[in-house]
Amino acid sequence: MVHKNHRYSKTFLDLPIVEIHKLKPGDSVAIVSPSSSAAGMFPEVFALGVKRLEDVFGLKVKIYPSTANISATLEDKARDLMDAFRDPENKGVIATIGGMIEKDLIPLLDENVFLENPKPFFGYSDNTHFHVLLSRLGIPSYYGGSVMTQYASPQSMSPYTVSYLHSALFTTELRVLESSPVFSEHDVDWGGADWNKPRSYETSPELLWDGVIDAEGILWGGCVESLLNIELPKNGLLKGHILILETSEEMPSLDDVEKLLRRFGSKGVFDEVCAVLVGIPKSWSFERPLSTEESVQFKNQQSDLLLRVIREYTTEIPIIQRLNFGHTDPQAVIPLGRMAYIDSSAKVIKLQY
């Protein structure tokens, strides 16, 4: 039974969702670099991530030629991405990391390759561009789980991260998106890290939950900095969807975040989507190492802005912030193109993997 305060749309039932098969231990996965070639600049980090895929998850790894080639062209990267999907031995495709150039890769891709060979794709940050392409084709994908970040974690992988990766890789379960009690936004110094020493964590910020109605819909979205550069779906195509947003180590200004939100608002996105889920704002980087007080202020300003601007366009939909996805550790993998269910009275989010 649907409660009277439940906002949702049945239009998602009419979307052509392509079936993708789950993996099992022993399967082969392709490793590609659709954006940055950091795997070639930091081979030890890349090798550790590959080893974790093999040892922790029992997967076989196939590395494509441009993956660790710092001289690889966009054409090389596009060829390898398509070849990785074409190869029937590959049961999944995983990005090494994000970057800054993927928007220029997208026009080089033949969409028919992915429609004819659908399979799970994992990555986040600049990989938002490819996720949006897959979404337009009706192919589910997984926001998170890059080789050089989630897998190549000092000492060992976070159990929280492993748990959500396991769900995304191997199961079709419906599970609660739980908050991690601890988090870290301090990036690992790949050039000088003690790989035998575990990461240090601090207490996670509390969830910011605004809205009292329930919602259900298909997950869509990604990194704010990438979404600023994409063409939005045509009016009506985001009905029955739940928008996810998060920000990277670029730590975009409030003006840039507001620019995206206003663009969404003017295009009617907030009239269409059922809810908005927001990752913990990234508020530290090597280029901008904020103090604890400055970090708290940065997070609060971004969260306040998101709530204020979105509420100018809609007063109903739930907006839940400070979730453990995106540029944070540990990380929950978000199943884009799959269903999510939000119970606002119980403050529970469930994801369909």
Please check whether residues 189 and 131 belong to one and the same domain: no
Neighbours of 246 (CB within 10 A): 28
3-class DSSP state of 230? coil
Please check whether residues 64 and 47 belong to one and the same domain: yes
Write down the pLDDT at residue 15: 53
Please check whether residues 132 and 159 belong to one and the same domain: yes
In a domain, 80, yes or no: yes
Residue ranges of the chain whose pLDDT lies below 50:
1-13
Neighbours of 200 (CB within 10 A): 9
Among 106, 135, 170, give the residue marking a domain's end. Answer: 170
Please check whether residues 235 and 161 belong to one and the same domain: no
* pTM confidence score: 0.95
In a domain, 263, yes or no: yes
pLDDT in tens, 184-234: 999 999 999 899 999 999 999 999 999 999 999 999 999 999 999 999 998
In a domain, 111, yes or no: yes
Per the structure, the count of domains in the chain is: 2
Considering Cα of 292, then 327, then 97, then 145, what sign does the dihedral take? Answer: positive
Please check whether residues 199 and 344 belong to one and the same domain: yes
Residue 118 identity: P
Residues in a beta bridge with 122: 94, 142
Please check whether residues 201 and 338 belong to one and the same domain: yes
Write down the pLDDT at residue 183: 98
Please check whether residues 200 and 336 belong to one and the same domain: yes
Omega prior to 330 cis, within 30 of 0: yes
Please check whether residues 39 and 111 belong to one and the same domain: yes
pLDDT in tens, 46-62: 999 999 999 999 999 99
Q: At 339, phi and psi to the nearest 5?
A: -80, 145
Write down the pLDDT at residue 14: 52
Please check whether residues 53 and 181 belong to one and the same domain: no
Please check whether residues 166 and 179 belong to one and the same domain: no
CATH number at residue 42: 3.40.50.10740
Write down the pLDDT at residue 12: 43
> Do the beta carbons of residue 90 and residue 30 sit within 8 Å?
yes
In a domain, 14, yes or no: no
Range of the domain at 318: 174-352
Write down the pLDDT at residue 4: 34
CATH number at residue 339: 3.50.30.60
In a domain, 38, yes or no: yes
In a domain, 334, yes or no: yes
Cα–Cα nearest to 261, from 304, 297, 295, 299? 304
Helix residue ranges per DSSP H, 156-281: 159-170, 224-227, 254-266, 269-272
3-class DSSP state of 115? helix
Among 144, 170, 196, give the residue marking a domain's end. Answer: 170
Residue 213 identity: I
Please check whether residues 229 and 111 belong to one and the same domain: no
Please check whether residues 36 and 182 belong to one and the same domain: no
Among 170, 200, 217, give the residue marking a domain's end. Answer: 170
In a domain, 11, yes or no: no
In a domain, 32, yes or no: yes
DSSP state of 184: B
